[in-house]
């Protein structure tokens, strides 16, 4: 399974290698922009992209980015709840 996480391109760090700085929910990472740059590299600054394993795989609009980030947050909350339920079940098993 592949998971692309939305991030916003905030700067071009190496135009020759098509590398840029992307903000993903407040965390800034350098990613490869080869798959999304079709002209001047600085044209993607400000764009939302889907980032997977250090590569921007595609450009998305702000609404799609917002919805995807919300869904990922819900999944994270669900994972935390499932982990808490598993912990409670183990605690009950060891107590009996």
CATH class entry, domain 5-95: mainly beta
Which residue intervals of the chain are DSSP H helices?
62-95
At residue 38, the 3 state secondary structure works out as: coil
**Whole-number pLDDT of residue 93:** 73
**pTM score, whole prediction:** 0.79
**Whole-number pLDDT of residue 81:** 66
- Find out whether 32 and 18 touch, Cβ atoms under 8 Å: yes
- Residue (of 17, 12, 1) closest to 49 by Cα position: 12
Point out the residues of the chain with pLDDT beneath 50: none
Domain boundaries of the chain, sorted by first residue: 5-95
- Find out whether 25 and 73 touch, Cβ atoms under 8 Å: no
């Amino acid at each position: 399974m592949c998971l692309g996480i939305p991030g916003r391109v905030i700067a071009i760090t190496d135009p020759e290698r098509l590398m840029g700085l992307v903000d993903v929910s407040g965390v800034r990472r350098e990613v490869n922009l080869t798959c999304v740059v079709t002209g001047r590299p600085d044209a993607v600054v400000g764009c939302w992209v889907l980032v997977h394993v250090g590569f921007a795989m595609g450009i998305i609009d702000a609404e799609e980015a917002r919805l995807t980030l919300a869904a990922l947050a819900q999944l994270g909350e669900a994972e935390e709840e499932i982990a808490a339920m598993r912990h409670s079940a183990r605690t009950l098993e060891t107590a009996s």
